Structure 1
């Protein structure tokens, strides 16, 4: 099931840029250019993350944030041209999880958003991830992986590596990132190149062509990334 992001922003260009970057990272995106409409649609669609402009034409973003916080703890990132420290403090006080000033980097917005999602455990609440029209399915509750409907026998290390990357398609992970990310699960061999061995074994099990992998992709000089396209929805 894809993570849903709702954008409330009155500048169409900003919406288009954020939408393009978010969808490329396999997020489901909805938006509104109007504060009141955005507030109603947020209540009805129940998104996993909200990106909220503060300077909207019909109502202040701060008021929208306050109303959302009366009934929901959905993470909120505020976007604004306001740069004063007092404005940033007010945003956090009324319930925002982060505060980004314009102009901003869309990549930074996504990185900061995912950091918040990790803290709020939204990604970890997802039970099932599916990719490429359900070709590859990862069931977090059962700790099972299927490829084209067939069960794949993975070692605990291989499974943890796969899940660590699959939660963030397109993100480049260094070997050190992968070691750090899964050593809480009991894996740490003291040197980064050990990751390569496990990656090689994982590819043999989930890639049709290990020389041209589409799921576990090498980023030369940097590490690895997950190349699968997350499905917009999944029902078991």
Structure 2
């Protein structure tokens, strides 16, 4: 079950600057800092990998088709890109997030349709 997004203040700065932080088990994501940690270890994602993860984690259990991911993340008509591009980014992201065997697979495939965030 996904813990709802919450905000916290940036220490030492004006209180109007809030961070959107999402915690799901051992996975932590800060949207504004573009920071991802698994078991308190920083995970370096590419810009597209982070954008895909952010889209999915902000909409847990919602299935996004390949076309939706391309339109939202690439901000392009999906006809310019193939499903292979999305598959490659997802595959790379899964490898990076799986820092140990006990870390769950957060990104689930929905065969023939797309992907969703679920634990």
* TM-score of the two chains, using structure 2 as the length reference: 0.74
Partners of 1:218 and 1:224 within 8 A in 2? yes
How far off is 1:184 after superposition?
A: 3.4
SS in structure 2 of the partner of residue 127 of structure 1: strand
Larger Rg: 1
- Paired residue secondary structure (1:194): helix
- Report Cα offsets for 1:3-58 as digits up to 9, x if no partner: 6xxxxxxxxxxxxxxxxxxxxxxxxxxxxxxxxxxxxxxxxxxxxxxxxxxxxxxx
What runs of 5+ residues in structure 1 fail to find an aligned partner?
4-124, 229-236
Higher helix share: 1
Against the structure 1 CA distance between its residues 221 and 190, is the aligned structure 2 distance closer, same or farther, given a 3 Å change threshold? closer
Q: Distance in 2 between matches of 1:137 and 1:158?
A: 15
Q: Does 1:201 align with 2:92?
A: yes
1:148 corresponding residue in structure 2: 39
Q: Could you say which structure has the greater relative contact order, defined with CA pairs below 8 angstroms and 6 or more residues apart?
A: 2
RMSD: 2.6
Q: TM-score, normalised by structure 1?
A: 0.39
Q: Which has the higher strand share?
A: 2
How many pairs were matched up?
Answer: 102
